[in-house]
Structure 1
Amino acid sequence: MQSLLKAVGIGLLWIANVSIAQVATVRVDYLHSGNAKTEHFALDRVLIEPLLWPGNLHKNIDQTNRGVNLFEVRDKASGELIYSRGFSTIFAEWQSTAEASKIDRGFQESLRFPKPTKPVNIRILKRDAQNQFQLVWNVDIDTDAPDVIRKQAGAELKPIPIHVSGAPTDKVDLLIIGDGYTQKQMGKFVADAKRLSQFLFTVSPFKERAKDFNVWGLAVPTKQAGVSRPSTGKFHASTTGASYDIFGSERYVLTLDNRALREIAQHAPYEFIEILVNNDTYGGGGIFGQFSTAAAGSDWANYLFVHEFGHHFAGLADEYYTSPVAYQTGNEIQTEPWEPNVTALKDKTQLKWKQYVSADTKLPTTWPKEIYENAARQFQKVRAELRKNNRPESEMSALFKKDLHESSQLFSKDPNYQTIGAFEGANYEAKGYYRSQMQCLMFDRSEQFCRVCQDGISTIIDLYSR
């Protein structure tokens, strides 16, 4: 381990100093465009990244059945499946917004995989109405072709070891990228990254699996502190392109500049990315298989970091339904969601988490839903007024604390508080979708995952480690 850390400090070719197969990392950048009813794909470029492949070559096939999409790398000649991973996209979220019914837009996306020895066929599949993956795009690629861009390692960016447990090939590699940190705030970035990753490992199942993770840090200094908040007239140059107000939601933080993000990330070993924005305003976001974001200076940074990482890392669905979102589920007929922690409960005998449900537990399971919803409506009214009047963030934080205290008090008195069943209200919908427990980190700002979410996370940890 000491030699590993020493290698990190002296250059970017440190992976060559540990015992792993010498396989390069391929990145395919492409464009994903369309509108509410159509989508198109177009190849942009193929690159060989500076660092070797950080993943376990014995775990190239994804059988977790997560994500809106699935991408496959198949041998061009034989059709043999070489690599696969499920993922979701920002385009899919945008497709359900009001804007998508009016105009076409394009989004940058990337696929990363270990370099094959022969030409391959890249396939992107998408779920249909029956939740089955269907082919939507494919392209042949020769990673040895002359026009493939070969990135060179340099000394300008070095990964900072935050939490290193072993060789990248044996671990889940999480890269924390700082945005909105000035040169003088680089120490603050490292402190923020350590503080929030340490909190992540206090939450089960990350707590029990901490040794299965490596955490790295990278940050390119900006001239101004913080990232843009267009709704308040604040526009700051951003190294990753991260910004608040994505799709018109004041708390939604994403980057739409995938190329800028990947050009930074390629200098560290990673499978997952969390962008820390150097802002105090509550906000974050997470896309399965892409990245997650969190406002490092928010009073709720711990919750934001872990909640949004739950989306990005494990494809966990939001279990709340009383807060407005910028996009819609687009699922009026309540087909069974692919996310592991929510259900449409169409077939009680096939409930995803039936192994945890007692024989005497009623489905659906009762909870103080009406009381909660009445309080939530008042909470959202006050919240909207605070943002409308641009009140100090301390007032918003106090409101959140009051809301969490009151709802926790309400739930803890209910006889089904610890019950695992099917509680109506999840996936942004008050009716038709169900969560497994009354309270969970994916439902409110509490700081523990329910049993079902823990299982969903553990499945992904197993895919990348051990």
Structure 2
Amino acid sequence: MKKLPVLILLLIHISVSGQNFDSFFINKTLRLDYIFAGNVQSQSVALDQLNELPQWAGRRHNLSTPLLQGNGNIKVYDLATNQCIYINTFSSLFQEWLTTPEAEMVSRSFENVFLIPFPKAKIKVEINLIDKEYHNRLLISHIIDPDDILIHKKGYKNITPYLLIHKASDNQKSINIAILAEGYTKDEMPEFMKYAEETVRQIFSYSPFNKYKDRFNVYAVQSESKESGVSIPRDNAWMETAFSSHFDTFYSNRYLTTGKVKDIHDALAGIPYEHIIILANTDTYGGGGIYNAYTLTTTGHPDFKPVVVHEFGHSFAGLADEYFYDSDALDQTYSHDVEPWEQNITTLKDFSSKWASLLPSGTPVPTPVSEKDNYPVGVFEGGGYSSKGIYRPAFDCRMRTNSYHEFCPVCQASIERLIQYYIE
């Protein structure tokens, strides 16, 4: 599938950004809870619950055109006119699981939660999933009446304690991030707050986040756990924590995730948020970041600082991992026959839609590693977990190693475009 060049996408965004938020929505959030289920052969999406939250903390412009494709999308239509009035894109743990051997033998279910502006009138909601070959499948389409008496109201009482630890200069043009505690007991909350503040310092020490730090609100949410630490199944250590996170996701030692997505959003009800960072109280190395879902990373490990920024690159900016394995252990993640949607890797199937315009004249494609000092931006083989057939834009980057001190120029440009999409 061909992707539109960035310039064309930006022109499209300009044409739709004039859509008036107040024409279709009110200043509240409609939270949609779904169950994604199935296996390699068959997938389905079922509506679980509708929830009303007391304010909308997402974008109020660029409502019906996404900047990034993601591995799925949620589309909202005004039922009376069939006009598309909101789109958001996402990736999911369910879709990652579909690439594992287990998905060939058994069916499983996963929670997923989406936030949309609260509609004034009846809407139609569609959820599409996109597989690694870029086949788009509509898995659910249903109508929602905003006057439905069974829409649960959340966030009007018993709100999780929170503090605003970084304030935007303009709330109407801001990006709202919530940082939650995982595996921290009530007595350990002062320690969590230190790590939450350090997370803010780390993110805003990187370009281009530092350029736009006055456009972000960041809330530290003191979500208590009954026990300290997180679960490590390989050690037979199962802890009772706020979000039931655990290592060994898909039997990968360092992959730290949680399937209790509704618990995350319940803890955030009543707090302005759109993007989520979860800080886990453990010194075991690991983490995870899922585009437009959450970042989850550990605080006690010496590499906490670079890892939380790396994982936020996944969850906020939709950046791909630029590292790879010589064994190609995860080579099934991406198809080499299509151009991946992530902006910082390419299969060269549609390189013109990526960073071709940033290459200095005469840059060899692919770019030999031996020429890395001559080409800060090039096309270096190895990325997206594959040593062959997938290429990255720089020899090193925050999305490749913990030791590198910045995002590469292509990642920086992608992050900046996304920030501008949210705020302008």
Q: TM-score, normalised by structure 1?
A: 0.81
In structure 1, the residue corresponding to 2:315 is in which secondary structure?
A: helix
- The answer to whether 1:458 aligns with 2:413 is no
Deviation of the 1:128 alpha carbon:
5.7
CA 1:154/1:55 → structure 2, altered by over 3 Å: closer, same or farther? same
- The answer to whether 1:359 aligns with 2:317 is no
Aligned position for 1:221: 224
Higher helix share: 1
1:36-51 alignment to 2 at 5 Å? 36-49=40-53, 51=54
- State how far apart, in whole Å, the 2-side matches of 1:118 and 1:437 are: 48
Aligned mate of 2:386, from 429, 445, 452:
429
Contact 1:158 1:268 in 2 (8 A): no
Q: Tell me how large the CA RMSD over aligned residues is.
A: 2.0
Which deviations, in whole Å up to 9, do the C-alpha atoms of 1:335-371 show, x marking residues without a partner? 11010000001355x2511121112111000005xxx
Aligned position for 1:150: 153
1:91-130 alignment to 2 at 5 Å? 91-127=94-130
Aligned mate of 1:230, from 229, 233, 239:
233
- State how far apart, in whole Å, the 2-side matches of 1:324 and 1:61 are: 41
- The answer to whether 1:420 aligns with 2:372 is no
Contact 1:66 1:315 in 2 (8 A): no
- State how far apart, in whole Å, the 2-side matches of 1:276 and 1:162 are: 15
Aligned position for 2:39: 35
Matching residue's letter, 2:306: Y
CA 1:129/1:93 → structure 2, altered by over 3 Å: closer, same or farther? closer
Matching residue's letter, 1:265: L
- State how far apart, in whole Å, the 2-side matches of 1:326 and 1:415 are: 26
1:139-218 alignment to 2 at 5 Å? 139-218=142-221
Which deviations, in whole Å up to 9, do the C-alpha atoms of 1:252-289 show, x marking residues without a partner? 11110111111002231111000000111111100001
> What stretches of structure 2 of length at least 5 have no aligned partner?
1-24
In structure 1, the residue corresponding to 2:64 is in which secondary structure?
A: coil
Counting matched residue pairs gives 399
Deviation of the 1:167 alpha carbon:
4.8
- The answer to whether 1:26 aligns with 2:30 is yes
Q: Percent identity?
A: 32
Contact 2:336 2:347 in 1 (8 A): no
Aligned position for 1:406: none
Which deviations, in whole Å up to 9, do the C-alpha atoms of 1:74-101 show, x marking residues without a partner? 0112111111111011100000111111
- State how far apart, in whole Å, the 1-side matches of 2:80 and 2:35 are: 26
CA 1:30/1:347 → structure 2, altered by over 3 Å: closer, same or farther? closer
In structure 2, the residue corresponding to 1:207 is in which secondary structure?
A: helix
Highest Rg: 1 or 2?
1
In structure 2, the residue corresponding to 1:208 is in which secondary structure?
A: helix
Which deviations, in whole Å up to 9, do the C-alpha atoms of 1:113-164 show, x marking residues without a partner? 1111111110112336664645332111112111111225225423211111
1:2-401 alignment to 2 at 5 Å? 23-49=27-53, 51-127=54-130, 131=134, 133-322=136-325, 329-347=332-350, 350=352, 352-368=354-370
Q: TM-score, normalised by structure 2?
A: 0.89
- State how far apart, in whole Å, the 2-side matches of 1:71 and 1:231 are: 36
Aligned position for 1:449: 407
- State how far apart, in whole Å, the 1-side matches of 2:245 and 2:102 are: 20
Contact 1:96 1:328 in 2 (8 A): no
Matching residue's letter, 1:35: N
Contact 1:46 1:143 in 2 (8 A): no
CA 1:365/1:228 → structure 2, altered by over 3 Å: closer, same or farther? same
